[in-house]
Amino acid sequence: MSLSAKDKLAVKTFFGKVAPKVEDIGREALARTLFVYPQTKTYFSHWADLSPSSPQVKKHGLTVLNGVLSAVELIDDLKGGLLTLSELHAFMLRVDPANFKIINHNLLVVFAMMFPDDFTPEVHVSVDKFLAQVSLALAEKYR
């Protein structure tokens, strides 16, 4: 399910609107991941506060969404462009790749909440495909 030219354009346009709100959206998406899917908290046992209002959640949400935004720039070669990030996730963080689907779902929910008019079904399918490709690229070095 690779990205067509239409998908890439939809993704670039939509994430252009996401970029100014990267902090809010990143925090919301991560907060929901931790809250709605409590098993994801196991990766953050070293944080004091895992609630939606936690400063660590805010900071890390920003880190994650900035990573996604950087992937938009690398959309023509995700596997190559995300090689270093893949190594980080594979060898250091060792996040089970099943969790990429979880955070992707919560990104979609927050996009729908914050951009009800822009997040049309056509944009939704392109963004969903893109996030799936990003997840694949991140999982590249796992084994």
Partner 1 sequence: MVEWTEFERATIQDIFTNMNYDVVGQQSLARCLIVYPWTQRYFGKFGNLYNAAAIMGNPMVAAHGKVVLRGLEKAAKNMDNIKATYADLSVLHSEKLHVDPDNFRLLGDCLTVVVAAQLGAAFTPEAQAAFQKFLAVAISSLRRQYH
Residue type, 24: D
Does position 128 interact with partner 1 (CB under 8 A)? The reply is: yes
Does position 93 interact with partner 1 (CB under 8 A)? The reply is: no
Does position 125 interact with partner 1 (CB under 8 A)? The reply is: yes
Does position 35 interact with partner 1 (CB under 8 A)? The reply is: yes
- Please, what is the minimum distance in Å from the beta carbon of residue 92 to partner 1? 28
The two three-digit tokens of residue 42, written as one number: 């196991």
**Which residue from 109, 103, 127, 105 is spatially nearest to 13, judged by alpha carbons?**
127
Does position 32 interact with partner 1 (CB under 8 A)? The reply is: yes
Q: Considering the complex, state which of residue 63 and residue 120 has its C-beta at the smaller distance from partner 1.
A: 120
Q: If you write DSSP's letter for every residue of 59-119 in order, what string do you get?
A: HHHHHHHHHHHHHHHTTT-HHHHTHHHHHIIIIII---THHHHHHHHHHHHHHHHH-TTT-
Does position 36 interact with partner 1 (CB under 8 A)? The reply is: yes
Residue 50's contacts (CB-CB under 8 Å, 6 or more residues apart) are: 34, 41, 44, 56, 57
The stretch near partner 1 (CB under 8 A) out of 61-69, 74-82, 84-92, 105-113 is 105-113
Residues of this chain that bind partner 1 (CB under 8 A): 31-32, 35-36, 52, 105, 108-110, 112-114, 116, 119-122, 124-125, 128
